[in-house]
Amino acid sequence: MTGLAIALVFAAAFIHATWNLLTKRASGGASFTWLFAALSAALYAPLAAGVILLQQPRIGPVELGFMSGSAILHTGYFLLLNQGYRVGDLSLVYPLARGTGPMLSTAAAILFLGERPSPIAIGGAVLIALGVIALTSNPHKLRESGAARAVAYSLLTGIFIAAYTLLDKQAVSAFLISPLLLDWAANLGRAALLTPFALRHWDKVRSEWQSHCFEAIGVAVLAPLSYILVLTALTFTAVSYVAPAREISILIGAAMGTGLLAEGDALRRLGAAVAMVLGAVALAVG
């Protein structure tokens, strides 16, 4: 990985952990998902229009297909993630979801995209995986009410992460779709897909806005920004490097959980964090 790719991915990791903290605080369902998707589409519309006017990208059936596919996969991802946060802790759901996705992404990139990461990079991915395991291995957490459902939602979320990572990688690298335009289209598509639900449950949407307008605006701004940075890195860096390196966000999320949500267990978290940092370094030099 180049220095620019590392900077983009690490900045994205911090932003990603921050918007997940906001999402956990809101613990909303489909109405909250629609709310921040619609806000994102509106807020980023001028930038998307600028890309279209200045770059005049080709938007044909193939490009529209990738945008539609990304919208569908991201809709599933956000709905599952929000359900996970409604029944489980940030320190359980976030590491499981973020850990499952990159491992599947890396494996699929090797099997289907022909990518061949170096042994050092593979070792780094393994270290990150071990850090994820250590971070989520507290048996007391798994016995808490709702933990089993939270684990199920987290693992399903990880599958969607792997799927949209591979799809979007092809979109931005093979078909040269602008990262910003792809993410904006995904937000617009997600808002469109959830609009029938939002209209039927407008009282819930209004309640979410009244209770969690700060969180909704924060997620609307930060979620696209973090992913645009990752997509930009993917335009010139292999999935098998970027996907595991993103998982430094688990370290940041763990620190936020310990400091802001009083989730404790600092020693185990520190050991897991060290393994993940070493893994990220191995990816960088590999």
For 77-87, what is each residue's pLDDT tens digit? Answer: 999 999 998 88
Which residues make Cβ contacts (< 8 Å) with residue 223, sequence separation at least 6?
16, 19, 36, 40
Answering whether pTM is above 0.95, one says: no
Report residue 187's pLDDT band, with 50, 70 and 90 as the boundaries: very high
Which range, of 99-103, 176-180, 200-204, averages the lowest pLDDT? Answer: 99-103
The DSSP output letter for 189 is H
CA pair distance 3, 10, nearest whole angstrom: 11
Is the torsion defined by CA of 85, 89, 90, 95 positive or negative? negative
Say what percent of the chain tops pLDDT 90: 43
How does pLDDT run across 8-28, given as a tens digit for each residue? 988 998 999 999 999 998 887
286 is written with which tokens?
A: 């590999």
pLDDT of residue 145: 59
CA pair distance 41, 75, nearest whole angstrom: 14
Instruction: Check: CB of residue 75 under 8 Å from CB of residue 191.
Output: no
pLDDT of residue 102: 61
- Does residue 182 have a pLDDT over 80? yes
The DSSP output letter for 143 is T
Q: Which of 64, 17, 28, 72 is nearest to 212 (CA)?
A: 28
Q: What is the mean pLDDT of the chain?
A: 84
Is the torsion defined by CA of 185, 186, 191, 196 positive or negative? positive
pLDDT of residue 44: 95
Residue type (1 letter), 159: I
Q: Which of 124, 119, 120 is nearest to 103 (CA)?
A: 124
pLDDT of residue 141: 57
Instruction: Check: CB of residue 171 under 8 Å from CB of residue 66.
Output: yes
pLDDT of residue 235: 85
pLDDT of residue 262: 66
Is the torsion defined by CA of 272, 277, 283, 286 positive or negative? negative
Q: Which of 169, 101, 161 is nearest to 129 (CA)?
A: 101
How does pLDDT run across 101-158, given as a tens digit for each residue? 666 766 777 777 777 777 887 887 788 778 777 766 665 655 665 677 888 898 899 8
